[in-house]
Homo-oligomer: A and B are copies of this chain.
Amino acid sequence: MQITEETLTTEQKILQAARKLFIQKGLTGTRMDDIAKEAGINKALLHYYFRSKEKLFELVFEEESKHFLGKILDAIESDKSLFEKIAQLVEIDTEHYLHNSCGASVPMFVFYEMARDPELAARQMRFKTGLTRRIMDVFGQQIKIEIEKGTIRPIDPSDLFINIMGLVLMPFMAKPMLQIMHDWDEETFRQIAEKRKKEITEFIINAIKV
The answer, among B110, B162, B169, B171, for a CB contact under 8 Å with A171, is: B162
- Encoded as 1 (CB less than 8 Å from any B CB) or 0, chain A from 137 to 175 comes to 000000000000000010110110011011111110111
A203 and B207 within 8 A (CB): yes
Partner of A115, one of B121, B175, B196: B175
A105 within 8 A of B: yes
Copies in the complex: 2
Contacts A166-B170, A204-B207 known; A115 to B108 CB distance under 8 Å?
A: yes
Cα–Cα, bound, A170→B174 (Å): 11
Complex contact B26–A177 (CB within 8 A)? no
A176 sits at the interface (CB 8 A): yes
Number of A interface residues in the complex (CB < 8 A): 54
Assess whether A200 is in contact with B163, with CB atoms less than 8 Å apart. Answer: yes
On whether the beta carbons of B180 and A125 are closer than 8 Å, the reply is: yes
Expressed in whole angstroms, the Cα–Cα distance for A110 and B208 within the complex equals 31
Asked if A10 is at the interface of the complex by the 8 Å CB criterion, the answer is no
Nearest-neighbour CB distance to chain B for A148, whole angstroms, equals 19
Would A112 and B108 count as touching, CB distance under 8 A? yes
Contact: B162 with A170, CB < 8 Å?
yes
Q: How far is the CA of A150 from the CA of B30 in the complex (A)?
A: 51
CA distance A174 to B63 in the complex (A): 18
The residue among A122, A153, A163, A196 with the most chain B CB atoms within 10 A of its own CB is A163
Q: Is the CB of A153 within 8 A of B206?
A: yes
Nearest B residue (CB) for A31: B28
Contact in complex: A111, B108 (CB < 8 Å):
yes
Which residues of B have CB within 8 Å of A181? 125, 132, 136
Q: Which of B24, B104, B158, B199 contacts A159 (CB 8 A)?
A: B199
The reply on A96 being an interface residue by CB < 8 A is: no
Which B residues are in CB contact (< 8 Å) with A105? 115
